[in-house]
Amino acid sequence: MSKKTRKFLEKKFEKELEIAKEKAVHGQHEIIIILDHLKGGFNIGKILRSCEIYSVHEVHIVGTKFFDVTIAKGALKRVKTFFYEDIEDSIKRIKELGYTPLTLDSNAKTYLNKSELPKKSAFIFGHEEFGPLKEMPGIERLKIKQYGMTESLNVSIAASIVMYEYTNQHASE
């Protein structure tokens, strides 16, 4: 990305962030999405769009100071979003709020769709290439059933599947 493009996108990000401080609200579903050191490219924006569509309670963005909000299609202005330097601060907040932290792991024993998700679920999604930056003992690991040879899904797709499964289990008609 050129310096000129980045500067333009940073200004757009700052403008939407200011609007979000006044207008963004907590969603109706008691699920929190935590994005741990994701790249600032397109995945964060895509995930925020899904968070708005599934009306998640809030989003935590850890270790990422800027992302391209164009892809979010205005979702940052509508979804309550918090920024953290470190994952421990985000986990501390969710535990204070009574949420159960969960994450996805292709080596987990339990499938997402076979698990009874807690009403107050907080899903942690790690970096696109490296996964979560820190070991997280005591956090339940689930996996998404896959049928092909590829061992992982794009993080924005995985997050959308999680939100879909959560709302299937907990949304009232």
Indicate the residue type of 22: E
Q: For the residues of 117-161, what is the DSSP string, one character each?
A: --SSEEEEE-BTTTB-SS--TT-EEEE----SS-----HHHHHHH
What's this model's pTM, rounded to 2 decimal places? 0.94
CA 20 to CA 7: how far, in whole Å? 20
pLDDT tens digit string along 99-127? 999 999 988 999 999 999 999 999 999 98
Averaged pLDDT of the chain: 93
Q: Which domains does the chain have, with CATH numbers?
A: 3-170 (3.40.1280.10)
